[in-house]
Amino acid sequence: TLKEKPVSELATGPLLGQDTIRRGALSIGLSLVAVLGFMIFYYRFAGVLASFAMLTNLVLVVAVMILIKAAFTLPGLAGVVLTVGMAVDANVLIYERIREELDRHATLRMAIRNGFARATVTIIDANLTTVITGIVLYIIGSDQVKGFAVTLILGVVLSMFTAVYCSRAVFEIAEKRRWLTKIKMARIPLGGTIDFIGQSRVARALSVIVILVGLVAVVGRGRGLLDIDFTGGVSIQVVFNQDQDIEEIRTTLTARNDVFDDLAVSEVSYPGEPPRRRYVINTSSPDDNEDADEFLGKVKATLQDVFGERLVHHSMTISGGPPDDAGLTSEAPSKPDPAASSLHRGDLPPENLLAAANPSTLLPTQAAVSAAPDQPQPAPENAQGEEAPGDAEAKSRAETADQAKPPEQAKPADQAAPNGQPGEAPKGVEAVTWTVDFGENKMTYATLEQEIQAQIKPIAAGGYFEMTNPEYAKDLDPDRSHSKWTVSLYLPADQGRQVLDGVKASVEATPVFPSSNTIGGSVATDTQWRAAVALLASLFALVVYIWIRFERVMFGVAAVIALVHDVLITLGAVAISAWLAPLLGFALVDEFKISLSVLAAFLALIGYSLNDTIVVFDRIREIRGKSPYLTPHLINTSINQTLARTIITSFTTLIVVVILYALGGQGIRAFAFSLIVGVLVGTYSSIFIAAPTLLWIAQAPPPRDGQAR
């Protein structure tokens, strides 16, 4: 059953949406340039093919998103950026396998064939684990996080197609036609004899220390480590008209702990806007049972009370009105563009949506009469607003419908008024048309409607009005803001001006809050439960998959130990950020919190880290053959043989997430920070934690002859 009041609500201003698109496009573009440039430099001709495959992958992801009519959310754009880095991995695995075949003096044709054949198994194993975490994320995530899961799954699946099928087809055609006679690649001078098992004790001790420090930080931050996704509360963006010091804002709001019980403040910057003027304020609700919408109103009122005129306020100018009243008219009345009206589909409501100060006074419209496009509207018989008694009801309703609808088409009766109630304009009252302009701080239909209703009730309780905007009529999006609205008031001119003056006074006393997000306590509690289930379900599913794939449970246990290690260190890094922010503010480190987007980053790093680990495990299985035993030499050999691939994949992925961290904006920074830590820790754990743990769990080989038993 739907509740009357929403338990969570997200409002995003147009400037924030435009900035998200701009930052997302910039991050994707720079990531492509950086990754493609590196691949071409390192792999030469093969790098060109990898670049072609990556671009094809990106085009296919966008095409499928359009096909399934999925919208790109901010985390969804982050998923596309991350896909750019992770799509390289399949190509790197193939090319490093081809290099090994060439080092064994295989012919070019056999090197290509064996390289693709042997790498394909590893590619499928590694990428399926990422798909598993993506599916879990889609099941438990919010709408925005689901956008990340969709793009991640699509990117990984399509990257396997472009790398394994498309690249192989081009390679084989080029080799058979003798366009390709030699493959040249750069090489990382690693030596191939590093004793990783010998260094594993030091690595384990270091990991234990880092994990303990992180857990202390987690306990130290307590509930403050969780974002409003898990605690309930408000996230709101404020804009100041002068530069403000972030510490002063924190100090001022902390003093109001009756509202800002758990406070986090971070700066936001937009192109062309002076710095230190726009901030995002997050606070948890002190009372878990408090209504989310009421708490948002309390936060807004407190911010207005504390900062007052320092906040940027809405502005509103009024023009139009009766043409013979010079005192009320500053420019000609703004009329809707006739072309816009003619573009309406028959199944959509008209652009003139009739509203009333009191919806209960609206009369049901049983019929709507359509006029020819070139036929003039009938003039009202009584300009003073007095209804002629004794008129037939049908005639009255027909005249009313003729006045209320656009001449191009009939107005559906069930869509003529707001709040889902049919209605009609009063007979005999001529509308006076005004234009209200809100400048760059635009206004939504719903907000302006509420303001007019509040002002019209004391003046004319049964007064009617229409609000028109051609752009609004095209999409009928109630949350979309517009600068200008045409308002037709069925009131005398002086009363209409009085109503709009009241709206102007109310609007200009209201600060601009470009975006806000409210989450109720029940939603937050449900999110906590779903997050815990998601992590446990992911780990369980991955253990089962690896157990089945490698036919030994020890591989799954070793992988999960490494994953828990990665999650704990990344969690600790997020917790420690509160103490690092004053020292590393220049590096954009902020007081990060665990939100749904950060949870998405945790699940993504689980998939990424396991990807690395499976590559090493696959090589261990290949070298071991049918032997039931593992030895330190076998583990070291496997890690050394896959080390070049590990470094290259980690480097390209790190390039992408660093670009996302630097340019993605405040809304995605905690997500990108978690991924940066996760990529570094995941690479480290696949070498120093997962493989040594596998050796420790595995059955030790029997002692050789001559050794003590």
DSSP codes of every residue in 215-253 = HHHHHHHGGGGB-HHHH-EEEEEEEBSS---HHHHHHHH
- Taking a C-beta distance cutoff of 8 angstroms, is the pair 431, 466 a contact? yes
Query: What single DSSP character describes residue 162?
Result: I
Distances (CA, A) of 700 to 620, 628, 695: 15, 9, 8
pLDDT at 410 > cutoff 60: no
Q: How far apart are CA 599 and CA 305, in angstroms?
A: 35
The strand pair at 8-12 and 432-437 is best described as: unpaired
Interatomic CA distance for residues 681 and 609, integer angstroms: 8
| 228 has a pLDDT exceeding 90 | no
CA-nearest of 17, 171, 147 to 83 is 147
pLDDT (mean) for 101-106: 88
Kindly state the average pLDDT of the residues 159-178.
86
In this structure, whether the domain defined by 8-219+520-697 belongs to CATH 1.20.1640.10 is answered with yes
- Percent of the chain past pLDDT 90, that is, above it, reads 8
User: Is 602 a residue whose pLDDT tops 90?
Assistant: no
Tell me if 464 sits within 8 A of 356, measured CB to CB.
yes
Region of poorest pLDDT, from 76-90, 159-173, 189-203, 250-264? 76-90
How many CB atoms are located within 10 Å of the residue 236 CB?
21
Task: Tokens for 650, please give them.
Answer: 């980690």
Tokens linked to 73: 């959310």
Answer yes or no: is pLDDT of 450 > 70. Answer: yes
For 205, other C-beta atoms within 10 Å of its C-beta total 10
Segments in 308-444 forming alpha helices (H): 338-342, 393-404
Residue 250 has pLDDT above 80, yes or no: yes
The pLDDT of residue 574: 94
Q: What angle do CA 573, 145, 689 make, to 5 degrees?
A: 40
Least-confidence region, from 6-10, 167-171, 238-242, 599-603: 6-10
Residue 444 phi/psi, 5-degree rounding, is: -85, 160
- CA-to-CA distance for 600 and 608, rounded, in angstroms? 12
- CATH assignment of 233-313, given 3.30.1360, 3.30.70, 3.40.720, 1.10.357? 3.30.70
CA angle 478–480–484, rounded 5-degree value: 105
- Distance of alpha carbon 332 from its chain centroid, rounded? 43
Cα–Cα distance for residue pair 504/513, rounded to 1 Å:
17
Amino acid occupying residue 13: G
Mean pLDDT of 38-58: 88
DSSP annotation of 359 reads G
Predicted TM-score of the model (pTM): 0.70
Whether the Cβ atoms of residue 77 and residue 28 lie closer than 8 Å to each other = yes
Q: Are 527 and 230 in contact (CB under 8 A)?
A: yes
Closest CA to 490 of 482, 481, 499, 480: 499
With CA atoms as reference, report the closest residue to 476 among 370, 362, 343.
343
pLDDT in tens, 130-156: 888 888 878 776 666 777 788 888 888
Contact 185, 46 (CB under 8 A): yes
What is the distance between the alpha carbons of residues 570 and 579, in angstroms, rounded to a whole number?
Answer: 15
Question: What pLDDT digit, counting tens, does each position of 270-310 carry?
Answer: 667 788 888 888 888 766 666 777 888 888 888 888 888 88
Helix (H, G, I), strand (E, B), or coil: what is residue 374? coil
Summarize pLDDT for 187-215 with one digit per residue, the tens: 887 766 788 888 888 999 999 999 999 99
CA distance 606 to 562: 9
Which residues have CB under 8 Å from 191's CB, separation 6+? none
User: Token digits for 264?
Assistant: 């986090």
In the three-class reduction of DSSP (H, G, I as helix; E, B as strand; rest coil), residue 343 is classed as coil
Least confident of 6-10, 621-625, 655-659: 6-10
- Torsion of Cα atoms, 476 then 479 then 483 then 489, to 10°: 60
Could you tell me which residue, 510 or 674, shows the higher pLDDT? 674
pLDDT for the residue 667: 73
Laid out side by side, the sheet with 484-489 consists of 317-320, 432-437, 484-489, 464-468, 353-356
Residue type for 18, please? Q
Could you tell me how many helices (H) and strands (E) the chain has, helices first? 21, 12
Q: Where are the beta strands (DSSP E) in 275-378?
A: 278-284, 317-320, 353-356
The pLDDT assigned to 136 comes to: 80
Q: Name the nearest CA neighbour of 93 among 611, 610, 654.
A: 611
Token pair in block for residue 251: 């100090």
pLDDT at 65 (0 to 100): 83
Given a cut of 50, whether residue 394 has pLDDT beyond it is no
> How many angstroms separate the Cα of 184 from the Cα of each of 99, 103, 700?
9, 12, 42
- What average pLDDT does the segment 676-699 reach? 89
On the question of pLDDT at 434 being above 60, the answer is yes
Find out whether 171 and 109 touch, Cβ atoms under 8 Å. Answer: no
Q: How far is CA 199 from the centre of its chain?
A: 41
Residue 410 to residue 516: CA distance in whole angstroms: 38
Let me know how long the chain is: 709
For residues 351 and 473, is the Cβ–Cβ distance under 8 A? yes
pLDDT at 77 over 90: no
Terminal Cα distance for the chain, rounded: 71
* Tens digits of residue pLDDT in 352-372: 444 444 444 333 333 333 333
Output the pLDDT for position 19. 61
SS3 457: coil
Amino acid at 328: L
- pLDDT-derived band at 379 (thresholds 50, 70, 90) equals very low
The confidence score (pLDDT) of residue 514 equals 79
- What share of the chain has pLDDT > 70, as a percent? 74
Q: Which residue has the higher pLDDT, 403 or 83?
A: 83
Cα separations in angstroms, 84 against 87, 475, 649, 693: 5, 33, 11, 31
C-alpha 313/C-alpha 290 separation (Å) is 28
Q: Which of 246-250, 343-347, 682-686, 693-697 has the lowest mean pLDDT?
A: 343-347
In terms of Cα–Cα distance, which of 141, 74, 161, 100 is closest to 672? Answer: 74
- The residues of the chain that CATH labels 1.20.1640.10 are 8-219+520-697
Element (H, E) at 9: strand 8-12
Quote the radius of gyration of the chain (alpha carbons, Å): 32
Contact by Cβ (8 Å): 166, 50: no
The structure tokens listed for 197 are: 């098992």
Domain boundaries for CATH 3.30.70 within the chain: 233-313
Q: What pLDDT is stored for residue 354 in this prediction?
A: 40
Q: Strands, DSSP E only, in 225-277?
A: 233-239, 263-268
Range in 168-177, 203-212, 441-450 the model is least confident about: 441-450
User: In which region does residue 303 sit, left (phi positive, over 0), alpha (psi from -120 to 50) or beta (all else)?
Assistant: alpha
pLDDT at position 87: 74
Is the pLDDT confidence value at 677 over 90? yes
Q: For tokens 């009357």, what's the residue?
A: 4
Strands ordered across the beta sheet of 233-239: 8-12, 515-519, 233-239, 278-284, 263-268
Rounded Cα distance between 199 and 590, Å, is 34
